Amino acid sequence: MTLTCGVDVGGTKIAGGVVDERGTILEELRVESPATDVEAIEDAIAGLVGELATRHEIAAVGVGAAGYVDKSRSVVMFAPNIAWRNVDLQAGLEARVHLPVVVENDANAAAWGEFVFGAAHDVDDLLLVTVGTGVGGGLVLDGRLHRGAFGVAAEIGHMRVVPDGIRCGCGNRGCFEQYASGSALVRDARAAAVEGSLLARDLLDRAGGDPLAITGPLITEAAREGDAFAVEQLAEVGRWLGEGIASLTAVLDPAAVVIGGGVSEAGELLLGPVRTAFAAQLTGRGHRPSLEIRKARLGNRAGLIGAADLARH
């Protein structure tokens, strides 16, 4: 059985794992990400792969990179949270690990993982929406990963949904992820607490009286325990997601939408409002087949598993 190594590179951590042909992770390691130093990032990835290679016979390496990756799957053109600017990551890593390397956008890799081994294994057309600090996207169309003409398709978090809206880290205003992400969830809850909203009092108490201690997991925990304000905050994010997915469906017509990322751990507290808003906004509703909105199965390992499988093929 062929084994490959999948590596998921983020702004704070690098995770690597040995993955078999069934998508099973045989061993996984994590190291801190030296995100501001290009050479140090490559050394860290190579060190991780090298250690795994001492215990497993690895045939190739797939890297899921949080940035714009060119269509050749080698050069990271830009990354918002890592010091990659037109870096030939493939060449740098192949020189270090002496194995074939494929570089892919991390959300694309996650979409592929869910398509082959996860929640969308039974369809040929998939939109993955990752909801975490921002909103990411990955597309599989007709059974193939869709990268676009230049390799940077499916950056759905940066479609504009509110003209002259909230300033986004990308420099534009009104981007989808400013309203439908974990960051938006936390921002709005903290703002309500700072303003002295009585609705947010219980959540503020859970945070020890410090608005800055209000986090996404804390909001989800409170919602699960019946806090009405926390439930409302998750529902608002879900509404934005559902409306955005309805617009994307009008363009892409996928058979399934898979919701992943850290905020998806809220389960039906998020997915219920997503489905309701989607059903209310879908063009031609009632006169067209309707897709399924599903929770991701592979969790935060989807990118690692998908990258490993892309390297295998």
The DSSP annotation for 186-208 comes to: HHHHHHHHHTT-GGGHHHHHHTT
Structural domains of the chain ordered from first start: 3-112+301-312 (3.30.420.40), 124-296 (3.30.420.40)
C-beta of residue 302 within 8 angstroms of C-beta of residue 107: no
pTM of the predicted protein model:
0.92
Q: Kindly give the confidence (pLDDT) of every residue in the chain, 313 residues in length, as a single tens digit, with 9 standing for 90 and above.
A: 899 999 999 878 899 999 999 999 999 999 998 988 999 999 999 999 999 999 999 999 999 998 899 999 999 999 877 889 999 999 999 999 999 999 999 999 999 999 999 999 999 999 999 998 889 999 999 999 999 999 999 999 999 999 999 999 888 999 999 999 999 999 999 999 999 999 999 999 999 999 999 999 999 999 999 999 999 999 999 999 999 999 999 999 999 999 999 999 999 999 999 999 999 999 999 899 989 999 999 998 999 999 999 999 8
Instruction: Tell me the C-alpha distance between 101 and 270, whole Å.
Output: 37
Residue 168 burial (CB < 10 Å; 0-12/13-18/19+)? middle
Q: How far is CA 63 from CA 15, 17, 39, 248, 292, in A?
A: 10, 11, 16, 27, 29
What pLDDT does 83 receive?
87
Identify the burial level of 299 via C-beta atoms within 10 angstroms of its C-beta, where 0-12 means exposed, 13-18 middle and 19 or more buried: middle
pLDDT for 10: 84
* CA–CA dist 279, 306 (Å, integer): 30
